Amino acid sequence: MSKDKKSTAAAAPVHKGKKEGFAFGPENYKLMIIGLIVLFSGYLLMVGGGSDDPAVFNPEIFSFRRITLAPIVILVGFVIVLISIMKKSKS
């Protein structure tokens, strides 16, 4: 092969009909941010209930908020994030 000819084997293939850009659309990013906020709030609901003194038991650690509500909120957040990833963007 001569030096003046360029090799086309190293060039990236061009797909017709596909636009280059972001992997997700704006709706996907909005849903993902909402899901991350819900996840963060679920983890915040789980915080606390401990005792400063290890010899003293604090029954607040077994409250409804920490045992039931926070895990449900976290699962809802993961579902929202999963939906935001799987949703096909309109653009």
Is residue 49 within 8 Å of 60, Cβ to Cβ? Answer: yes
**Residue 52 within a domain:** yes
Mean pLDDT for all residues in the chain: 84
**Residue 5 within a domain:** no
43 is in which domain, residue-wise? Answer: 26-86
**Structure confidence at residue 5 as a pLDDT band (50, 70, 90):** low
Quick one: tokens of 49?
Answer: 């209930």
Q: What is the mean pLDDT of residues 71-86?
A: 97
Give the count of domains, the chain: 1
**Residue 10 within a domain:** no
Q: Which residue bears the tokens 């659309």?
A: 25
Q: Tell me: pLDDT of 3 over 70.
A: no
**Residue 66 within a domain:** yes
**Structure confidence at residue 91 as a pLDDT band (50, 70, 90):** low
Is residue 35 within 8 Å of 84, Cβ to Cβ? Answer: yes
How far apart (Å, rounded) are the C-alpha atoms in residues 31 and 9?
40
**Residue 18 within a domain:** no
**Residue 15 within a domain:** no
**Residue 91 within a domain:** no
**Residue 37 within a domain:** yes
Q: Per-residue pLDDT tens for 44-68?
A: 999 987 778 888 888 888 899 999 9
Q: Is the overall model pTM greater than 0.75, yes or no?
A: no
